[in-house]
Structure 1
Amino acid sequence: MSELLVAQLLTALALGLLGGGHCIGMCGGLMGALTMAIPPEQRRGWPLWRLLLAYNAGRIASYTLAGALIGSLGWALHGAGLDVLLRGIAGLIMIAMGLYLANWWSGLTRIEGVGRGLWRHIEPHARRLLPVQRPRQALLLGALWGWLPCGLVYSTLIWSSSHGDAVTSALLMLAFGLGTLPTLLATGAAAERLTALLRRRSLRVSAALLVILFGIWTLPGPHQKWLMQHLSLPSQSHQSHP
């Protein structure tokens, strides 16, 4: 696994983790419904965790599938010689996500309208699965709910698919989905502490600046050549002086 891919996977994981507040807004009500479907005496322990894990497994599976499907389109565009355009889109999306994470700009939420037509057909099937009382129901519900229009998911999907490889895109969406797990699985006091940590201004701004810098580096241009030359100098010097 290349160092660049590792950096991309860590970025996707961080996007999912830091976007947890948005995830609570989109899926928090449904997670509450899953909890309330269990008898009061069983709302702790394994019965609850089985439903929560099954739901999130289905949701993350949908993210991964979407990454593979849209990544195939990115691969086709790469084959058509549009790789420079895709890198530009990826860089701009990364910058926009950094601005979103720092709460400096929320324009990403506007792309949620793209999937509302599809969601209109999926939502009735998802609603029929409520109340959820078995892990199989929760798994299917999560798989359907994973297609809920979400600006953060869509932007991550566009970024991941711009790499022009279906497998890479799927892996990045898998990492993003895993990043959302801590927030959606946490309950009670643990959820309050985690949410408070993720809302710390210093943490969000630091992470946002790293994402923005990564986006700037991704943009095609002479700055890439300059960076690569400076990064390769130590290795070249080492080779010339054994």
Structure 2
Amino acid sequence: MTRLSHQEKIHNILEEWRLPLYFSKPSMNHLVSMIDGMLSFGFTGKISQIHALSFCKKHRTTLSYFLNKGAWDETYLNQITKQKTAQTIHKNARKQKEPVFLLFDDTIGQKTKPSSQAQSPIESCQYHFCHKEGKPVYGHQVVGMMMQSGDLAYPYDFALYNQSKEKSKIQMAVDMIDSYVKRTVSTYILCDSWYTSKRIIEAGLGKGIHTIGALRSNRIFFQKASENKSNSLFPIFQWKKPTL
């Protein structure tokens, strides 16, 4: 396969990760095309764009077949990606003397709702409430965990949320925390009010990680054997301009 110069650099990095031990040569070529296409200017998430932007000489359907029916296991790919991400972030944290933040959030990849007559609707698409739109939208919802330290931030793990399954978004985040291997660097969980929950906080404490997150006004907490809502604390807090 004839590659462009930057594609050769991508291939060399994948070789350093020892992916050829787990992926065939055709699979490696597809991975290089996918990475090149997704990193190209103008990419919006379509397979046809990956094929065009990466200047792949093979027919577009070969890439679709690789994703849908190809004989490859993404387990090692996910494992090595998380390992390299953690190594890079921890190295940067030690160099800049900064803490590591584990950021949790979810996002929706909105799709066009198919006709009721469609024979092959997009797999796993459902209606999810979109805070930006203020209404349910049709598409895929993904829960993701990013790692950040100083001026570096990389995706660490992600999972597709399916309403028909028993695992909630909170449980998916807990699983990601459980799989994370904490190093000696100071580490904190950073999240919005949706993920600030007892289970997230306890999962973090089990790894020696504290949680920083927004708190909903209707959250119930117990203090000195009395039950309170978090909004009862609002009058106690006073805003002070930070000294930089």
TM-score under structure 2 length normalisation: 0.24
Q: Quick check: which has more Rg, 1 or 2? A: 2
TM-score under structure 1 length normalisation: 0.24
Please state which structure has a larger fraction of its residues in strand: 2
Please state which structure has a larger fraction of its residues in helix: 1
